[in-house]
Structure 1
Amino acid sequence: MKHWKAVAAAVGAGLVARWASGMLLNAIQRSQSLKNTATVTSLFVFPIKGVGGFEVQEWPLGPHGLLWDREWAVGLPKDDGSYQVVSSNRLQRLAAATASIDLAGQRMTLTAPGVESLTTSVRQSVAEANVTLRPIEIFGMPGSAVEESAEATAWWRRAVGNDDVVFLRIVTARMPQDSPNHQGCPVTEADSIGFHDYAALHIITREGVAWLDTVIPRDHQFPGFEITEAQFRANVVVEGLPFPDEDTWSVVTIGATKLRVAKQSGRCVIPTHNAAGERHPRFEPTATLRRVRRAFHRHQLGRPTKEGLFMFGLDLFHDAAIATGNILRVGDTLTVTERQTAPEYF
């Protein structure tokens, strides 16, 4: 009986949170004095897919997102000669590793429990050397990569306890317009992706993180698994607009850089890991997002699907031909310049 009471309470809390979220958004949309600006409060760079990154005060844009963000990944060979890019959902030890980059010295330092740290060059000539190209694919989007170095591959094999992994660096950015599996997001020939899942940049709001912290059931909250901005692997965190106002953003600018929203970000296992690489016992915060932030992308509506996605944050593109080299800074103003209809959550 206690078990069923707990289940009922959790379901009820989910319905209330969903209702409150919808009412808040409706109130925002009805307001005649809608605020359109927020402030960048944090910037994060994640050089390696699925691996912890580092916080910065400012950072330049590269051809497919923040410079050197998701430039690298750990891959496993497939029978057809290509490589499957893996994350901590496949190799959980990746969640406890970190990568940081010295921008001036162009060197990356890798750390992981149980192995000595490794520092290696990130100069672009590494990827342009006369080495074997290795085909890669993520969610139907093809590209090519090279092994960064035998030394780095050996380090990762020790760090994750797998002798088959190869440390890869993107060479040919994945082009989403060639992919039937890009969730129908509006993309152009200029859009490209490194080892990101679906877009070039990821953004969340502090208001969203605070809201999520309040709707996770109390019996799902454990010491060491507090909700943090970094666990969502967002590049940009902003503050100043009420949650879930972001559901309506279509085009934003940060400083002088125009960013186009591709879609709301569907969440997976990654945010359930804490900084030590441990998985939350109750699969939070993804479990709560499954209850209260489940919807279909407008781009998914014409395609068969079972249960929609659990959305939190936004995936965006920038015009690389114009914006590469632009600097994003903490303290920059984000301005919402175009809006769209929010998804309907169920």
Structure 2
Amino acid sequence: MDFQKLCHFDSFKQAWSHYGYHGENFKEVIKREFTRIKGTTYLDHAATTLYPESLVRDYFQDLSRNVYGNPHSHNPSSRLTHDTVERVRYRVLQHFNTTPEEYSVIFTAGCTSALKLVAESFPWRPQTESKAGSHFCYLTDSHTSVVGMRGLTSGLGVVALPVSPWEVENKAKDGAQGEDVICQTPHLFCYPAQSNFSGRKYPLSHVNGIQARHLYPACDHQGRWFVLLDAASHVSCSPLNLQECPADFIPISFYKMFGFPTGLGALLVRNDAAGMLKKTYFGGGTAASYLSGEDYYVQAANISDRFEDGTVSFLDIIAVNHGFDALYRITGGMHNIQQHTFGLARYTYMLLSSLCHGNGLPAAQIYSEGQFESPITQGAILNFNLKDCYGQIIGYSQVDRMASLYNIHVRTGCFCNTGACQSFLGITNQQMRRNLQAGHVCGDGIDLVDGQPTGSVRVSFGYMSTFEDCQKFLNFVAECFVEKPVTVDQVRIEKLKTATAAYQDVNEYLPIKIPNGEICKVDEKESPTEASLRGFGHGDSNSHEEAYTLTNIYIYPIKSCGAYEVNDWPVGPLGLLYDRSWMVVNGNGVCLSQKREPRLCLIHPQVHLPSNKLLLQASGIDTISVPLENNTQMHTSYRVCQSKVCGDRVETVDCGDEAASWLSNFLGQPCRLIRQSPDFTRDMKKRPSGGSKTTATSTSLSLVNEAQYLMINRASVELIQKLISSRQDDSEGEQLLDTQNIISRFRANLVIAGVEPFEEDNWPHLIIGNIPFVFAGQCGRCQMIGVDQKTGTKTKELLMSLAAYRNGKVTFGVYLTHQLPEGSTNASVLSTGSLIQPEPHSSFLK
């Protein structure tokens, strides 16, 4: 039986019998509660899960029917709020199988705020020459917010001790209980119930082991040991019973459990440990009594009141009540969720870890401690990197871009867990520092440094995840990243079958090689690499004997809208005059791009210089115009607003209600047209390369992403076109792309001809006509090149072929900045047909 049949629900049911929830048909529940995700494969539940529609509907009905006042007052509406908040506290404790007599619930702004509260309130004792001080110990597989607690403790003279999982499990001793009577130095050990990186579940028995000083590091240090159990990742899909693991402090975030509300978490504090916490700042509601003219303060007796500074976010807390209602109504409880989500994760692990290229090499490197044997030891998280047919890691940014084309939502990077990332990927501390020097920081797209990964890909499941999510993801990997013919490691499947008694025999479902074209719709022949495809464009055009020429000029007056082709066009201080001077924002003021709204490409702006008008044109709707320049009247009529472009703050001017109505009508959502304020200057982040002293001056930008100009080469386009043709066959649903279609997808300002493919990548300088330009970097491509600029439809092949040719770099085209003579008052004009002169360093701008 082949891979496609293995990716079938019957096969899944053979491997795991727990799917969906008892009672109502699971598909019907998803259709009713999560209609907004139709067509989307959401696999980032470890970052935030999705809220059911009934949760927000019931919540807003609640708010519309009741008057909720400030709980610090005593009027009827305030008492209603107070009583409802107290009801939610009880439900939180009930959910974790404990009582108000054992634990208190302190509402916070999230898990991170809860951790910060513990760090600031714990009674740390500094180390002195005569006395041993407190230890702040944390598992190396901890979230950044846990490790960050040492930023506070280090200034207090407290020893910070990172502990590896191996040390906790292999350095255990019999605790010396008698010494605790003498030494009461407080220590804190922090560890995650579940790793947010790999999904590994650490034994909850560690809580008692540390408290009793049987486990390392508690067994090596006298004193009283408290345990902080970071439960944020664990409680999203798994039950937590505080009767079995009475941790002293348990931080959680509710959006990871319910999807809504965000910005609300809680710290569960064991009442026996609460008296140890010390409070210095006191906000409204935390004081039983105080004097304003004298240093006199008595803290509130109630633990929750004592640590909730000011008025709690009571409307969000009320939403938690509806979160519990929806969760139990849909699933029946956390045990059911754990069984459902683990089954999906293990099934995905089983297939992905066994998936092989046609040459037998594995297609994925999985980062896990075990083999998904049990939901007791493994959560619904799968972390991995994909590998090509030569065994090289494929950068996670490339995987992320391709996944976006398939509308598959994953998470990439190190997931705010540097310790686990280093451990699994084998990144040393020295390499981490070198990566930083190479420009890599957390959250960026630099996925490979010197061929080594800086992060990975994570898929994670939630209670509303379906088998179809697994199926779409696995088919996506096979189609885009596995060299044909696809095979599966049968020996590994056999081992996984016997890894746990929970899995039934699946002999009849063992896969064989996939027949040609069943999954990837690509010929069985080896996909061409960069080396094997150079004959497509190199050495066969005699291009060096031809003149380098500028064949096309495009401006894009409105960012992400259609191109306006011109033959002659003025060059201004920001680039081509009026290029990306306007942009469309949604009802929240967020810039719209074709990634979010592909139909933007169907809007064709046109700059009409003689009339000083920008024309807005689209099929089926009347053309309107807005002024090209902001005059004094515009400043008084239209409001100035702040927006963001590629992380940069830009000052913009709204272009009025007529343009807003036109755009909203065409795009089917509230929109406005704004333009960059003429009084605002936005400087380029990168300094142009080239070594000339003139490059030290700042380069001003319009609303472009990176640089003033983007240039592509027709020879490079033709090479990619041939590569697409070689990868497609008659079964491919997508039409072959012609040269002009590909050019339009790359959305360049300047198109050149008469050069070798990708030769432009190596030009530090060039002159077009009489205007000198400086190379400012290669253009990294995203899923937006999958949008057909004539129809707004999305296709995958262009990005796939580009990634195959460029060895995963996914770059195409080069950024340029112009070098206008200082003090020049003469307007420069670019014209099609102009000669291009590539220049070496030594002869440029003599």
Shared fold, TM over 0.5: yes
- Whichever structure has more strand as a proportion of its residues is 1
Counterpart of 2:646 in structure 1 is 139
Residue 813 of structure 2 corresponds to: 313
TM-score, normalisation: structure 1: 0.79
Cα distance in 1 between the residues matched to 2:668 and 2:826: 37
Q: Equivalent residue of 1:12, what SS? A: coil
- Closer/same/farther in 2, CA of residues 146 and 14 from structure 1, 3 Å limit: farther
SS in 1 for 2:553: strand
Counterpart-to-counterpart distance in 2, 1:185 and 1:127: 38
- 3-state SS of 1:328 partner: strand
Following the alignment from structure 2 to structure 1, what is the Cα–Cα distance between the partners of residues 800 and 617?
Answer: 29
Partner of 1:287: 800
1:276 matched to which residue of 2? 790
1:20 Cα deviation after fit = 3.1
Whether 2:775 is the aligned partner of 1:261: answer: yes
Q: Which residue of 1 aligns with 2:605?
A: 99
Q: Which residue of 2 aligns with 1:215?
A: 723
Look up the match of 1:226: 738
CA distance in 1, matches of 2:534, 2:562: 30
In structure 2, relative to structure 1, the CA distance for the partners of 1:64 and 1:151 (3 Å cut) is same
* Alpha-carbon offset, residue 5 of structure 1: 8.3
Which AA in structure 1 matches 2:562?
G
Q: Work out the CA distance in 1 between the residues paired with 2:653 and 2:748.
A: 26
Q: Does 1:205 align with 2:713?
A: yes
Find out whether 1:325 has 2:837 as its counterpart: no
Query: For residues 256 and 75 of structure 1, what CA distance do their matches in structure 2 show?
Result: 37
Distance across 1 between alignment mates of 2:688 and 2:799: 23
5 Å-filtered alignment, 1:130-169, equals 130=636, 131-163=638-670, 165-169=671-675
CA apart distance, 1:230: 2.5
Rounded Cα–Cα distance in structure 2 between residues aligned with 1:267 and 1:284: 13
Question: What is the letter of the counterpart of residue 288 of structure 1?
Answer: S
Q: Give distance in 2, aligned partners of 1:126 and 1:330.
A: 36
- Alpha carbons of 1:225 and 1:240: their partners in 2 closer, same or farther (altered >3 Å)? closer
1:71 and 2:581 are equivalent in the alignment: yes
Q: Residues 107 and 122 of structure 1 are in contact (CA less than 8 Å); yes or no, is this contact kept in structure 2?
A: yes
SS at match of 2:773: strand
In structure 2, what is the Cα distance between the partners aligned to 1:232 and 1:243? Answer: 15
- Cα deviation for residue 274 of structure 1 reads 2.1
Contact 1:190/1:319 (<8 A) preserved: no
Higher RCO structure, 1 or 2 (CA under 8 Å, sep 6+): 1
Q: Quickly say closer, same or farther: Cα 1:323–1:54, change in 2 above 3 A.
A: farther
Structure 1 residue 2, shift from structure 2 partner: 2.1
Deviation of 1:114 after TM superposition, in Å, equals 3.7
What's 1:245 paired with? 759
Partner of 2:614: helix, strand, or coil? strand
Corresponding residue SS for 1:291: helix
Does the 8 Å contact 1:126/1:148 carry over to 2?
no
- After superposition, the C-alpha distances for 1:1-55 in whole angstroms (9 at most, x for unaligned) are 223685774782332x454349977x89xxxx96795111111111111111221
Unaligned runs of 5+ in 1: 296-308, 341-346
Q: Deviations over 1:163-207 (max 9, x none)?
A: 1x2211012242223xxxx5x865754312112110101111111
TM-aligned CA distance change 1:218 to 1:24, over 3 Å: closer
Q: Which residue of 1 aligns with 2:565?
A: 55
C-alpha distance 108-8 of structure 1, shift in aligned 2 (>3 A): closer
Partner-residue secondary structure (3-state), 1:289: helix
CA shift at 1:157, angstroms?
0.8
Aligned to 1:40: 550
- Corresponding letter in the other structure for 2:832: V
Please say if residues 110 and 119 of structure 1, whose CA atoms lie closer than 8 Å, have aligned partners that are also in contact: yes
For 2:557, the aligned partner's letter is P
In structure 2, distance between residues paired with 1:288 and 1:115: 36
Structure 2 SS opposite 1:85:
coil
| 2:836 aligned with 1:334 | yes
Instruction: Work out whether residues 708 and 817 of structure 2, in 8 Å CA contact, stay in contact via their aligned partners in 1.
Output: yes
In structure 2, the gaps of 5 or more residues are: 1-514, 690-694
Q: Which contiguous aligned blocks of 4+ residues in structure 1 show a shift greater than 6 angstroms? A: 22-25, 33-36
C-alpha spacing 1:237/1:76, structure 2 compared with 1 (3 Å):
same
Rate the CA distance shift 1:254–1:154 in 2: closer, same or farther, 3 A. same
Aligned to 1:302: none
- Which residue in the other structure is 1:176 paired with? 684
Deviates more, 1:267-276 or 1:165-174: 267-276
Give me the whole-angstrom Cα distance separating, in 2, the residues matched to 1:126 and 1:21.
Answer: 56
Give the Cα separation in 2 of the matches to 1:4 and 1:174: 50
**What is the CA–CA distance in structure 2 between the aligned matches of 1:237 and 1:185, rounded to whole Å?**
20
1:222 Cα offset (Å): 3.8
Q: Which amino acid aligns with 2:829?
A: I
SS in 2 for 1:44: strand
Q: Which has the larger radius of gyration?
A: 2
Contact 2:516 2:523 in 1 (8 A): no
Alpha-carbon spacing, 1:127–1:11, altered in 2? closer, same or farther (3 Å): farther
Superposed CA deviations along residues 208-256 of structure 1, whole A, max 9, x for unmatched, are 1111110012335844853422332111111111112111111111111
In structure 2, what is the Cα distance between the partners aligned to 1:93 and 1:208?
Answer: 27
Q: Who is 1:300 aligned against? A: none
Equivalent AA in structure 2 for residue 154 of structure 1:
S
Change (3 A) 1:215 1:24: closer
Contact 1:21/1:244 (8 A) holds in 2: no
Distance 1:75 1:294, change over 3 A: farther
Give the Cα separation in 2 of the matches to 1:328 and 1:221.
40
How many angstroms does 1:77 deviate by? 5.5
- The answer to whether the aligner puts 1:118 opposite 2:624 as a matched pair is yes
